[in-house]
Chain A
Amino acid sequence: MEYLLETDNITKRYGPIVAVDHVSIRLKQGEIYGLIGRNGAGKTTLLKMLAGLAKPTEGSFTIFGESAEKTSRMRDRVGVLIETPGLYPNLSAMGNMKIMAMIVGENDDLYLKELLEDVGLGGIGKRHVKAFSMGMKQRLGIAMSLVGHPDILLLDEPINGLDPQGIVEVRELISKLNRERNITILISSHILEELSKIVTRYGIIHNGRIIDQFSQSELLRRCQERIELRPSDPTKAVTIIEKMGISDFKVVDNSVLHIFERLEDSGEIVLELAKNDIKTLNISIKNENLEDYFLHVTGGANYR
């Protein structure tokens, strides 16, 4: 089994609205897959389908190599935290954990205590959940998603609404779970900077569609400083650039060249292209962070 979770053109329609549009993603064991998208992009709907809370209109998905129809008995191996955690406000953290444990047939109170300690709620006592801060609720939600000893965690906006301290705590917790328990994690967020600190692979979802997927190293490469060159004849320009001894470059959208080396030689490149009758329509030196990159590919915030 190469992939722990795999979707095949999964689609969700609500009447005429297509919330998730033929999405295909794959998660390998041990990965932290970051699903990036604006509000309303389809992140939550996709996660709800994978969590068994909504039925796909079209397409399918497999978990642990088995189709969704057969995964029922394995569902407790998938921990879920969708949007805000579902908690009984008049119960303590332990009370909520016990309810979750009864559902999955877990009888070990000691294990539940360990989980609460792991998420930093060990000494919380019998305080009712309604008196918890948002960060505490999120951490309890994560602890509850761990009750069934899951191999996969589906976390939808787990850092949403948290203060900076809470964000750091939840981020470190997610990293720890991945590192120490080898849990594969699918996490959605629009707080990109935080996501970029833990994620190993990204998927950008926009208007229900996955428009790009890349690894952390690929992102670093895409965001690194580069010459962006738009020549009049890209195919011919590639030959010229190779002749100049430049090998670290990439053609984007069949019209733009990203050159990652000899950044100080942009003038020489333009001259060489001109000698070969290739006009330089545009040339600039750029670098981006994840946020810029996201805006770039989704065309948001009047990105130029």
Chain B
Amino acid sequence: MFNLIKMNLYRMSRAVSTWVIAIVTVCFALLQFGSLKLIFDDPFNMFSGEAGSMVAFDRLDGVSAVTTFLQNGNVLIILAIFVVLFANAEHKCGFDKNLIGLSKNRWKQTLARWISAVIGMTALIAIGFGVMLGLTALFVDAFTFGSAVAMFKSLGLMYLGAVAFSAIFFFFTTLFNNSVGGVVTSLVLTTGIFNLFEMLMDMLVKKIFSSPKVLPTDIFYDSVFMNFSHSDASTKAILIFAGISVVYIVLSLLGSMVLQQRRDVK
């Protein structure tokens, strides 16, 4: 397993796509910083102190910085593309033919690939969030760091969410066995297209059952993630969010490993 992770990290570090995505992540972080600077410091008097009308929070601190960067469809799209390209690279160039036959327990190769993808994703988040937070702390006058505990709690929860998303993207890439299928699924999940479908399903469920206890938007992960308000969440809400995330991680990984174990290499 260690050898496999080492190999995956080696190929990740030498893939052009990794560095392109890292640059895009930094650019996105710069964009986020620029937006916060414009909205909160308002150097051109564009918003007349109405920053709250532009963003979902009225004060800029560590927790809202996490929300700005990680609870964001754009960052999820970047991470999705990274995970999908990385997960499918071996199959795309046929390198899996050299690898898969070497072990009877092919699921270990899948697990190692996902762990490596999460390590890469963690690095991207760290770089992007670090750049955005650093620049915001240094150059946005309205920024106050606030509670470090609250910020790291938010960061941890949103990171868990990103990891759960990575497992879902990883599963669909394994299922379709190509990047296109994985990217399309990821885009559907992260751009809110699927959310419209879920809301329609909510309405349908509400029509069928007078007062349903669980709605599709409570279960489908894109809604669970986007609707989660970590800044003022109760312990129960946090546990539910973390529980659903873990369930998605476990199910997606199990699905990917079973697929890999049973499928012949074409």
Q: Give A contacts to B, CB under 8 Å.
A: 48, 51-55, 69, 71-72, 75-76, 78, 80, 82-91, 95, 98-100, 102-105, 144-145
Contact yes or no, A69 B104, CB < 8 A:
yes
Residues of B within 8 A of A75 (CB): 101-104
- The majority secondary structure among interface residues of chain B is helix
Bound-complex Cα distance A29 to B17 (A):
44
Residues of A within 8 A of B94 (CB): 83-87
Which residue on chain A has the smallest CB distance to residue B90?
A86
Q: Check if B16 is an interface residue, CB within 8 A of chain A.
A: yes
Which residue on chain A has the smallest CB distance to residue B103?
A72
Contact yes or no, A89 B100, CB < 8 A:
no
Contact yes or no, A89 B102, CB < 8 A:
no
Residues of A within 8 A of B6 (CB): 102
Task: Name the distance in Å between A130's Cβ and chain B's nearest Cβ.
Answer: 10
Residues of A within 8 A of B3 (CB): 102-105
Q: A86-B94, A102-B7 are in contact. Are A80 and B101 (CB under 8 A)?
A: yes
Residues of B within 8 A of A55 (CB): 264
Residues of A within 8 A of B10 (CB): 98-99, 102
Q: A52-B101, A80-B98 are in contact. Are A99 and B11 (CB under 8 A)?
A: yes
Bound-complex Cα distance A98 to B264 (A):
25
Residues of B within 8 A of A71 (CB): 104
Contact yes or no, B101 A86, CB < 8 A:
no
Contact yes or no, A80 B7, CB < 8 A:
no
Q: Check if B41 is an interface residue, CB within 8 A of chain A.
A: no
In the assembled complex, 19 residue pairs joining A and B whose CB atoms fall closer than 8 Å, in A order, are A51-B101, A53-B97, A53-B101, A54-B265, A55-B264, A69-B104, A75-B101, A75-B103, A80-B97, A86-B93, A86-B94, A86-B97, A86-B98, A91-B14, A99-B7, A99-B11, A102-B3, A102-B7, A104-B3
Given contacts A90-B16, A99-B10, A102-B6, 16 further A-B contacts (CB under 8 A): A48-B265, A54-B265, A75-B101, A75-B102, A80-B101, A83-B97, A84-B94, A86-B96, A86-B97, A87-B93, A88-B89, A89-B93, A98-B10, A99-B11, A99-B95, A103-B99
Bound-complex Cα distance A2 to B104 (A):
25
Bound-complex Cα distance A95 to B98 (A):
14
Residues of B within 8 A of A84 (CB): 94
Which residue on chain B has the smallest CB distance to residue A80?
B101
Which residue on chain B has the smallest CB distance to residue A49?
B264
Bound-complex Cα distance A71 to B4 (A):
19
Bound-complex Cα distance A75 to B98 (A):
11
Contact partner of B15 among A53, A69, A76, A90, CB < 8 A? Answer: A90
Bound-complex Cα distance A89 to B17 (A):
13
Q: Check if B105 is an interface residue, CB within 8 A of chain A.
A: yes
Contact yes or no, B102 A53, CB < 8 A:
no
Contact yes or no, A90 B14, CB < 8 A:
yes
Size of interface on B: residues with Cβ below 8 Å to A: 25
Residues of B within 8 A of A86 (CB): 93-98
Task: Name the distance in Å between B22's Cβ and chain A's nearest Cβ.
Answer: 16
Contact yes or no, B102 A52, CB < 8 A:
yes
Contact yes or no, B105 A72, CB < 8 A:
yes
Which residue on chain A has the smallest CB distance to residue B106?
A52
Which residue on chain A has the smallest CB distance to residue B7?
A102
Which residue on chain B has the smallest CB distance to residue A70?
B104
Bound-complex Cα distance A59 to B233 (A):
58
Which residue on chain A has the smallest CB distance to residue B16?
A90
Bound-complex Cα distance A100 to B96 (A):
11
Which residue on chain A has the smallest CB distance to residue B102?
A75
Task: Name the distance in Å between A121's Cβ and chain B's nearest Cβ.
Answer: 17
Task: Name the distance in Å between A72's Cβ and chain B's nearest Cβ.
Answer: 3
Task: Name the distance in Å between B92's Cβ and chain A's nearest Cβ.
Answer: 10
Interface hub of A78, A80, A83, A99 (most chain B Cβ within 10 A): A99
Bound-complex Cα distance A51 to B100 (A):
9
Interface hub of B7, B15, B97 (most chain A Cβ within 10 A): B97
Residues of B within 8 A of A83 (CB): 94, 97
Bound-complex Cα distance A69 to B104 (A):
7
Within 8 A of A (CB), among B73-119: 89, 93-105
Contact partner of A88 among B93, B100, B104, CB < 8 A? Answer: B93
Bound-complex Cα distance A89 to B11 (A):
11
Residues of B within 8 A of A99 (CB): 7, 10-11, 95
Residues of B within 8 A of A105 (CB): 3
Contact partner of A52 among B7, B89, B95, B104, CB < 8 A? Answer: B104
Contact partner of A104 among B89, B93, B102, CB < 8 A? Answer: B102
Which residue on chain A has the smallest CB distance to residue B264?
A54
Task: Name the distance in Å between B217's Cβ and chain A's nearest Cβ.
Answer: 40
Which residue on chain B has the smallest CB distance to residue A106?
B3
